Chains A and B, each alone.
Chain A
């Protein structure tokens, strides 16, 4: 009885992964190998069950890597990937620069205050992501809140153009993903034994050196988790560049959207998605490794 129960509970996550990750992945992969054809469904070959095994093999033979070759020839895609990675990379750095001090402050706050601070970090999730990004339009547009404030303060004479630029995209990403940076770092810092910092100081470290050698060093797993939680979705981000970015903001999420919904090109967009996934597998594996190491250390 207990054994059967255990087997079922182990089976559930595998089943979940199989149905909601592996199967869709295989379908997308298969579409990326197909040939575009207008009309419905928009690609060939289609599997035809009535054709039996021989038809299945014929179909397989028609699959090819032409879409991937096409991606390689068109500079637009390459630039979109590079631009996405660059934007994601720098947004991650900025999120880290803001998130770490926030998390540190939270972890050092008195025990009674911590849940409140944690609540404040999580609170934005209660509003729809889309609405929060829209709100930034109101803040960043030429006659928006930010410009009015700066004009009123006399910092600037004419409104700044922020909306529809990469700057707005950075602001949007950093704002939206900040909690994903703060929470894992906070989790590691909160567990940090303060006696370790005292021990470092006792052995001759200044407060700053102790911070560097102990606090920062021991929060690496949290920093790694935070960075990946920000970087990975930021690379594929579509909503933020679409709403806040300009016509020259090139991000792979936007290209994918255009290929799929505007051009109806299922095969190219599937190939784009596959390449994106491959690019992201590297940080995902790194993330997994960092997690495994962190859990091992805790034992």
Chain B
């Protein structure tokens, strides 16, 4: 579900086996000398999708975009755009624009001329260029800086010029390599929403690289979490967050508690774990795990409830508050269980917590429902 003004529509072409992907990475491998930057990667992106690439530095995100834009050729495999193989198509013939991580602004041109560059190149009429440039500069809130040269701008302003320049041509496919990283929180959020609006309004397809999970969560239809040249998981923000498929993804997105344990038995959609971390856990999961296999339960801090008394049902363990961070809307706790394990819990401050907060030096209980987390065997 995604908002477009007040209209909400559901958009999930990836669930439709008939849907044709707009971009298809088919078993792509990219080597630089001996180094494998991308390894046997397959990935589909659909038309009008807002797709995010998330992953640690050096995992190959930029390389993936550069292959799409035409600056690198895959060592093996094929990329298809709208069903057509892209091999050998020069960058200027691809309906793709890219915002460079290094911005790559033309130092000899004003902000205005930078933004207009692509439009001039395609031979747009002067008046239209002027109008489009104004619109773009408004989008990134740089109207007042139109005449400046890039070296007269701050880092964040430069980043916005680069963004405006890549969006200006309204390419069918826009590749944004960390487009908002240098902006402050407020400006970043505003720009995020404007980008989303623009994408919806013009029906563009966006692939965006970001280090900011919140950004990926807010903007994306789907997220691909990458790890050293491979995709670990692709899914909607909710899927990736609530049902990570590996310890790596669980750990990478948001904060998470991992309870390592041995499967003690499975029955009726319930898996029982014997945890070396001090307590036994029941998890709602209808997969069939072999008894004795090593698995981990990943559970988010906000799924954990804190109480002064042992709750009637659910998984529970006792401990004491080790660290308390009051954030206003929520309070984050680190609880040290009796067995020694540290657990993160986060509670919504629905009542004024000054009245009777859980504090240090008291015996408390953590608890969570059997369906609060997900079991990982990878």
Output the nearest chain B residue to A220 by Cβ-Cβ distance: B108
CB-nearest residue of chain A relative to B96? A202
Q: Whole-angstrom distance from the CB of A173 to the nearest CB of chain B?
A: 31
Q: Mark A261-299, 1 if CB is under 8 A from B, else 0.
A: 000000000000000000000000000000000000111
Contact, CB under 8 Å: B71 / A198: yes
- Measured between C-beta atoms, what is the minimum distance from B264 to chain A in Å? 56
Please give me the residue from chain A that is nearest to B107 by CB atom: A297
B90 within 8 A of A: yes
Which residues from chain B contact A204 at a C-beta distance below 8 Å? 92, 118, 121-122, 169
Answer whether residue B133 sits at the interface, using C-beta atoms and an 8 A cutoff. no
- CB pair B102–A201 under 8 Å, yes or no, is no
CB distance B104 to A199 under 8 Å? Answer: yes
A-chain residues with CB within 8 Å of residue B98 when the two chains form the complex: 202
Expressed in whole angstroms, the Cα–Cα distance for A217 and B117 within the complex equals 14
**A214 close to B102 (CB less than 8 A):** no
* Cα-based distance from A206 to B122 in the complex (angstroms): 11
User: Is B281's beta carbon under 8 Å from chain A?
Assistant: no
User: Do B121 and A203 touch across chains, with their CB atoms under 8 A apart?
Assistant: yes
By the criterion of a CB under 8 Å from any partner CB, how many residues of chain B are at the interface? 25
**CB pair A195 B104 closer than 8 Å:** yes
Q: Which of B104-122 contact A (CB under 8 A)?
A: 104-108, 117-118, 121-122
Give which listed residue, B69, B70, B106, contacts A196 with CB less than 8 A: B106
The answer, among B91, B106, B118, for a CB contact under 8 Å with A214, is B106
Which residues of A are found within 8 Å of B100, using beta-carbon distances?
A: 195, 198-199
A193 and B91: CB pair below 8 A?
Answer: no
Interface pair A205/B92, CB less than 8 Å apart: yes
> Is the Cβ of A202 less than 8 Å from the Cβ of B92?
yes
Q: Which of A195, A203, A297, A299 gathers the greatest number of chain B CB atoms within 10 Å?
A: A203
How distant is the Cα of A209 from the Cα of B149 in the complex, in angstroms?
Answer: 22
Nearest A residue to B116 by beta-carbon distance?
A203
Report if A218 contacts B (CB, 8 A).
yes
B132-153 near A? 1/0 per residue, CB < 8 Å: 0000000000000000010100
**Is B165 interfacial (CB-CB < 8 Å)?**
yes
A200 CB-CB contact with B under 8 Å: yes
Question: Which residues on A sit within 8 Å (CB–CB) of B169?
Answer: 203-204
A195–B107 touching, CB < 8 Å:
no
- Distance in Å from the Cβ of A297 to the closest Cβ of chain B? 6
- Enumerate chain B residues within 8 angstroms of A206, measured Cβ to Cβ: 90, 92
A218 and B108: CB pair below 8 A?
Answer: yes
Q: How far is the CA of A209 from the CA of B120 in the complex (A)?
A: 12
Contact A205 B104, beta carbon cutoff 8 Å = no
User: When the two chains form their complex, are residues A203 and B165 in contact, meaning their CB atoms are under 8 A apart?
Assistant: yes
Q: Mark B41-78, 1 if CB is under 8 A from A, else 0.
A: 00000000000000000000000000001110000000
- Within 8 Å CB of A202, what residues of B? 69-71, 91-92, 96-98, 166
29 contacts across the A-B interface (CB closer than 8 A)? A195-B100, A195-B102, A195-B104, A196-B104, A196-B107, A198-B69, A198-B91, A198-B100, A198-B104, A199-B165, A200-B106, A200-B117, A201-B90, A201-B91, A201-B92, A202-B91, A202-B97, A202-B98, A203-B117, A203-B121, A203-B169, A204-B118, A204-B169, A205-B92, A214-B106, A217-B108, A218-B108, A297-B108, A298-B151
Chain A residues within 8 Å of B, Cβ to Cβ: 193, 195-196, 198-207, 209, 214, 217-218, 297-299
